[in-house]
Structure 1
Amino acid sequence: MPPVIGISAYAERARWGRTWDLDVHLLAQAYTDAVVASGAVPVLLPPVSGVAGAVGRLDGLILAGGGDIAPDRYGAPAAPDTAGVQDRRDAAESALLAAALAGAVPVLGVCRGMQLLNVARGGTLHQHLPDVVGHEGHRPRAGVFDPHPVTVAADSRTARILGRTRLDVPTYHHQAVAGLGERVVATAWADDGTVEAVEYADTEDVLGVQWHPEMGDDPSLFDWLTARASAPGRAQAGGGRAATA
């Protein structure tokens, strides 16, 4: 059976058709398309209490992009530009991450998801990146994933997965990693010094990127996650197929 990859979903108000205007759980189709193309089966994980109980049935986890993480989770007051905070999503995704780490389930963090990987280990965030770098290059146009170049540390797991140390990435964010958390290692940077990728130093199975790989044409990060989710012996370490066998 193909591995099952859970993806954290949004809780938003949405309109569709001529009739419906409802609270929904949703996710950009690009995430699920990327997971399917890598050979895995995607499952959406809504930000509800108890969702971390599903991790025992998963082979991999993607923490998706979205609104800002509540600043009190990293000991800071909210800045004027911090927006889209949802306490229930912060709580649900923090629990998903904790369960994945406890169960040796590989994790890919995307944009907000990468920031959560850092905050979960005591790291901090820049709440409005233009105030730090002096430009809007990480989110130049509303609703558009514009590219910018990134440099990857040559000796990093990230570089091995991507197969290169210099690339253009599709980006859309106004926050970024500031102080690194415990055993969180920065492995890629924008030209202005913004951290663009992190790894956990104590496991081969956790990686985050600040950009949106699902919106680009490079499948390597999703292929990596599916390969790790399918690795021989991983299920015996506590992954989903072992739990459901």
Structure 2
Amino acid sequence: MNKILISCSYSFGDKEDIVRIDNAYTNAVLNAGALPLPIGIEEDEEKVNSYLDLSDGLILSGGIDICPLMYDDYVVTEMDFHDKRDLFEARLFEGAIKRNLPILAICRGLQLVNVLRGGSLYQDLVKSGFTESIHTKKEKDPFIDEVYHYVYINKDSLLYKILGKEKLRVNSIHHQAVKNLGEGIAINCKSPDGIVEGFELKDYKKFLATQFHPERLHLEEDFNKIFKSFLGGYGE
């Protein structure tokens, strides 16, 4: 059975730090026929390499914001970020590529890869002039687990190859998004108001990123197809 490494969310407070993982990720991997391997922040490079050596794929999960310093910006809005997670997941991403592992980057994961490739982010969509409120749903709203708006899919993309359709209704829970695109990135879908909702890498074919959350909808056929294709190495 394939073993899939999943980066965990991370929160911190005055008394303790907490590493957690949303069961939606583990359930999606299990439902697709693989074994999830959650991993918290690990600063020991040898241990990180050991995890990667055990794995058959990597999921970069959602979570808190990316530190603006990573894309040469300063904080312009209320944010939650943790630079150790940014650096740790950057190491996971590069390590997975070196091992030729399939990678699925979701929400924050998409944003991180864009930044690692030299791109930048809208720190807050509403404050950046996006008046449509379709993206910034809160965790208590139903739109995490329900489709809410359409994305329009580029026919010349891996995502179209997986789904075989030009538009898809997706869920939505994010207040940040891709601003300037990083190097070697090809957009595969956008929202009606022009936000990047997914992309791929021109120089690494075993990669897919979505701004929406397919793990929350993995029991639906289209979103399960994404996980099945990921486990299959996106067709190698």
Distance 1:102 1:197 in 2: 23
CA contact (8 A) 1:145 1:172 kept: no
Say which of 209, 223, 226 aligns to 2:228: 223
Q: Which of these residues, 73, 78, 88, is aligned with residue 76 of structure 1?
A: 73
In the alignment of these two chains, the number of paired residues is: 223
- Per-residue deviation at 1:142? 4.5
Of 119, 140, 144, the residue aligned with 2:141 is 144
Amino acid at match of 1:108: L
SS in 1 for 2:42: coil
Q: CA separation of 1:76/1:220 partners in 2, compared to 1, >3 Å: closer, same or farther?
A: same
Partner residue of 2:119?
123
Instruction: Give unmatched runs, 5+ long, in structure 1.
Output: 15-20, 235-245
The one-letter code matched in structure 2 to 1:23 is D
Tell me whether 135-144 or 190-199 shows the greater mean CA deviation: 135-144
Label 1:56 to 1:142 Cα distance change in 2 as closer, same or farther (>3 A).
closer
The answer (yes or no) to whether the contact 1:145–1:171 under 8 Å persists in 2 is no
For 2:37 and 2:20, how far apart are their aligned partners in 1? 12
Instruction: List alignment gaps of at least 5 residues for structure 2.
Output: none
Match in the other structure for 2:63: 66
Give 1:4 shift: 0.6
Q: How does 1:12-31 map to 2 (within 5 A)?
A: 12=11, 23-31=17-25
Cα contact 2:137–2:172 (8 A) shared by 1:
no
Calculate the TM-score normalised by the size of structure 2: 0.89
The question of whether the paired residues in 2 share the 8 Å contact of 1:150 and 1:190 is answered with yes
- Tell me the distance in 1 between the aligned counterparts of 2:69 and 2:8: 22
Indicate conservation of the 8 Å contact 1:128/1:175, yes or no: yes
1:238 corresponds in structure 2 to none
Alignment of 1:1-245 (within 5 A): 2-12=1-11, 23-50=17-44, 52-53=48-49, 54-81=51-78, 83-130=79-126, 131-144=128-141, 146=143, 147-216=148-217, 217=220, 218-228=223-233
C-alpha separation in 2, matches of 1:183 and 1:35: 28
Stretch deviating more after TM superposition (196-205 or 5-14)? 5-14
Instruction: Report the aligned-residue RMSD.
Output: 1.8
The secondary structure found in structure 1 opposite 2:203 is: coil
Residue 144 of structure 1 and its aligned partner are, at CA, apart by 2.7
1:171 aligns to what SS in structure 2?
Answer: coil
1:237 equivalent in structure 2: none
Deviation at 1:132, TM superposition (A): 3.0
**Following the alignment from structure 2 to structure 1, what is the Cα–Cα distance between the partners of residues 213 and 54?**
26
How far apart are residue 197 of structure 1 and its match?
A: 0.3
